[in-house]
């Protein structure tokens, strides 16, 4: 894989990566400490892609950047509902007169999650943890967290404000033509953008250069087999040229798309085999954390770890390689002889 740029832009600054696209890197208050946002075009027709989370540091960085530019962008596109991408859509939306763009499913997901009352949100996650074997102390701790999604997201724009994008659609952004490619698995209907004339892919979280995107079964998401959806999207992306410049939401821009796609597929094949081997005796999802995760997990990482473990178990279950058995209220999975 080739990384064309040595450094990274400072928070609140921009760096040109190719014609008509600037790279902006915003800090995150998580273990994953940054998100890449992209600014298309020149003042007068600019489109900002993604926002960072709703915190003072990120808001100050945007204020400083657009003060230096002299104006806010005309339009905003949000790739998916996660707080590091959607977190300031409402705040920036108040400052711009142009379009807000995104996927219907992602916008609906954000609005639904934002609207869940804290007590209900806590109960949903505590029940989810409990039925998958997590310790009672962890389940109890979730009941004091409130709506963790709402805590990272500014009040969302009304649905009527959004222009909806769909798979295969051609859109003109900042005077250039892009094709929408929907990415699934990491999020239900994530917007990727491909610029055919010079082979540039704004990849959101579908393909990252150094880490594997989180692929999770989650309580409020409809996709019961997100790993299958994720792998299907990787196959779709294999049709793009290997000289494509990939602009990921985390890490540095890179070339070598096909190599990275092959690695991600192989990574999940190995994880699936590890889980299948570990389930010779019935295991809860929590029992399998030691198979997949060697590091200590914080509260956010615990949620991701459970979702990702379940994604692999559901994939194996639908292949007939494991079957689910209930031991009281706890779901366990055991390998079959397939």
Tens digit of each residue's pLDDT (9 = 90 or more) over 61-110: 999 999 999 999 999 999 999 999 999 999 999 999 999 999 999 999 99
- How much of the chain, in percent, has pLDDT values that exceed 90? 95
pLDDT recorded at residue 338: 60
Nearest to 89 by CA among 11, 37, 29: 37
Nearest to 335 by CA among 286, 272, 245: 272
Q: Which residues pair with 18 in a beta bridge?
A: 21
Encode pLDDT of 271-290 as tens digits. 999 999 999 999 999 999 99
* Residue 290 in domain: no
pLDDT recorded at residue 262: 98
Total domains in the fold of the chain: 1
* Residue 74 in domain: yes
Residue 187 to residues 29, 171, 218, 280, Cα–Cα distance (Å): 21, 21, 10, 31
Q: Which residues contact 109 (CB under 8 A, 6 or more apart)?
A: 81, 187, 188, 220, 221
pLDDT at 57 over 70: yes
Q: Two tokens at 193? A: 């953008």
pLDDT band per the 50, 70, 90 thresholds, residue 270: very high
pLDDT band per the 50, 70, 90 thresholds, residue 47: very high
pLDDT recorded at residue 294: 82
Q: Two tokens at 215? A: 């692929």
Nearest to 213 by CA among 252, 186, 231, 243: 186
Quick check: 338 and 321 in contact, CB under 8 A? yes
CATH number for the domain including 151? Answer: 3.60.15.10
Q: Two tokens at 255? A: 């070339």
pLDDT band per the 50, 70, 90 thresholds, residue 263: very high
* Residue 318 in domain: no
pLDDT recorded at residue 71: 96
* Residue 8 in domain: no
Quick check: 209 and 98 in contact, CB under 8 A? no
* Residue 9 in domain: no
Quick check: 124 and 90 in contact, CB under 8 A? no
* Residue 305 in domain: no
* Residue 218 in domain: yes
Nearest to 154 by CA among 101, 220, 102, 86: 86
pLDDT band per the 50, 70, 90 thresholds, residue 195: very high
pLDDT band per the 50, 70, 90 thresholds, residue 337: confident
* Residue 328 in domain: no
pLDDT band per the 50, 70, 90 thresholds, residue 300: confident
Would you say how long the chain is, in residues?
A: 338
Mean pLDDT score of the chain: 96
Encode pLDDT of 113-152 as tens digits. 999 999 999 999 999 999 999 999 999 999 999 999 999 9
pLDDT recorded at residue 224: 96
Q: Which residues contact 57 (CB under 8 A, 6 or more apart)?
A: 11, 27, 29
Domain of residue 65 covers 14-269
pLDDT recorded at residue 52: 98
């Amino acid at each position: 894989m080739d990384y064309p740029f040595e450094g990274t832009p400072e928070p609140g600054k921009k760096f040109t990566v190719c014609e008509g696209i600037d790279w902006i890197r915003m800090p995150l208050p998580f273990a994953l400490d940054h998100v890449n946002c992209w600014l298309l075009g020149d003042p007068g027709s600019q489109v900002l892609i993604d926002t960072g989370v709703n915190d003072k540091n990120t808001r100050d960085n945007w204020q400083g950047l657009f003060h230096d530019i002299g104006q806010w962008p005309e339009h905003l596109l949000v790739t998916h509902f996660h707080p590091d991408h959607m977190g300031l859509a409402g705040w920036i939306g108040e400052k711009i007169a142009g379009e807000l763009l995104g996927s219907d499913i992602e916008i609906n997901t954000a609005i639904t999650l934002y609207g869940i009352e804290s007590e209900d949100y806590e109960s949903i996650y505590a029940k989810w943890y409990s039925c998958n074997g997590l310790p009672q102390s962890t389940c109890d701790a979730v009941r004091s967290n409130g709506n963790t999604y709402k805590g990272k997201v500014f009040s969302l724009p009304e649905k009527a404000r959004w222009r909806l994008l769909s798979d295969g659609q051609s859109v003109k952004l900042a005077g250039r033509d892009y094709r929408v490619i929907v990415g699934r698995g990491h999020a239900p209907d994530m917007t990727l953008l491909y610029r055919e004339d010079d082979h540039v892919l704004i990849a959101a979280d579908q393909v990252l250069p150094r880490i594997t995107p989180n692929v999770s079964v989650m309580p409020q998401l409809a996709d019961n087999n997100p790993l299958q959806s994720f792998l299907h999207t990787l196959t779709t992306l294999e049709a793009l040229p290997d000289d494509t410049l990939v602009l990921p939401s985390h890490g540095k821009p890179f070339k070598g798309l096909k190599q990275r796609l092959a690695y991600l597929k192989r990574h999940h094949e190995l994880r699936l085999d590890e889980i299948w081997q570990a389930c010779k005796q019935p295991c809860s999802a929590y029992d399998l954390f030691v198979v997949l995760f060697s590091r200590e997990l914080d509260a956010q990482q615990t949620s991701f770890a459970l979702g990702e473990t379940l994604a692999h178990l559901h994939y194996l279950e639908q292949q007939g390689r494991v079957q689910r058995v209930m031991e009281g209220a706890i779901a366990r999975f055991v390998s079959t002889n397939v």
